[in-house]
Amino acid sequence: MFEQFCKTLHSDKAFITIEITPPHGSSIKPTIEKIKELKLHEKVAGFSVTDNPLAKLKMSGVLSAIQVQQAFKKPVIATMSMRDKNKLSLQSTLLGANDFDLRCILALTGDPAKFSDQPEVKGVLERDSTLLLSIIYRLNNGFDYSNKELNPKPKPIYPFAVANAYAKDMSRIKKKMLKKLNYGARGIITQPVYDIENAKRLIEIFEECKYESVRETAKDAELILGQFPVVRARTANFISDKVPGITVPKRIIEEMDLAAMDGAKREQEVGFAISKGIFDEILKLHPKVHLMTHNRFDLCSQLIGNN
């Protein structure tokens, strides 16, 4: 399963993953059933599962990922946030997940605890996501973080990391990408991309990082471009104004604002047409895409179409 996943990632074929956010409740099964109903699992290489995004309480990302992987027999990238776990908890979770054959891990620093909906919650945050990447590197060599040998040794773990899609000084993105590749990341997933020139620049930077990295695994690493379709003008404006690391072209903002003046139906039609155009264009340029839609799986299915 993982070998085919990696083979598709490294091939010229379309490699599409879809983000799943676990529920604010005790079962992921309704989400799994919705994906089955749309036959969405037949259109993608795999899924990812988030870990309490925006520090809001959700069902365990790792346990949800295990259920999704078992349901669809496709690899799931489980997000692990540094915000909520120290290095002991991280290692323990990784070893337990490994026994369930959950072996793709997205290392994330995590949104600040101040965003949480839980009273007086405090983040752990021993270090940024590179700590988790270094833990995975040790586990893959058969040792824990204190260099004690593991028995039995875990099956290979495939670490992923994230990167911003845009910065006024793009060298800042390059610096962070290179750092994560040097810590062993096998794939880097970007924030959503809304402009083809932005996508081209990210690909160039990533190739430069692969060449400059000191880590042998970087030669086989892949860039996965994030996509977040916007079907509401309010969403497009919020992303453009409030979300760091993403840029939405002014022409898209203006087109969405004008469509919104003609009513919700026209707004959604225009938004979907714009999103579909970007998705198809990005996929043609670089067929490695990660879709984020806040569990709008119907929207995912429409976007992917017959790709």
12-28 pLDDT tens trace: 889 999 999 999 999 99
Report CA-CA distances (Å) from 196 to 129, 163, 202.
28, 17, 10
> Closest Cα partner for 246 from 167, 149, 162?
167
> Closest Cα partner for 279 from 288, 266, 269, 267?
288
* Confidence class for position 242, pLDDT limits 50, 70, 90: confident
- Token output for 20: 């799943």
How many angstroms separate the CA atoms of 111 and 18, rounded?
A: 20
Tell me: the pLDDT tens digits for 122-139? 999 899 999 999 999 999
How many angstroms separate the CA atoms of 160 and 52, rounded?
A: 18
* Section 80-107 average pLDDT: 96
Say if residue 101's pLDDT is above 70: yes
* Section 161-175 average pLDDT: 96
Per the DSSP assignment, residues forming a β-bridge with 187 are 160, 222
What pLDDT shows up at residue 9?
A: 86
Q: What percent of the chain has pLDDT over 70?
A: 99
Q: What is the mean pLDDT of the chain?
A: 95
CB 274 within 8 A of CB 252: yes
What pLDDT shows up at residue 12?
A: 81
CATH number of 2-304: 3.20.20.220
Report CA-CA distances (Å) from 24 to 6, 20, 84, 105, 234.
32, 13, 17, 22, 24
Q: Which residues, 6+ apart, have CB-to-CB distance to 84 below 8 Å?
A: 51, 52, 110, 123, 124
> Closest Cα partner for 21 from 46, 56, 45?
56
* Section 192-220 average pLDDT: 95
What pLDDT shows up at residue 307?
A: 65
* Confidence class for position 233, pLDDT limits 50, 70, 90: very high
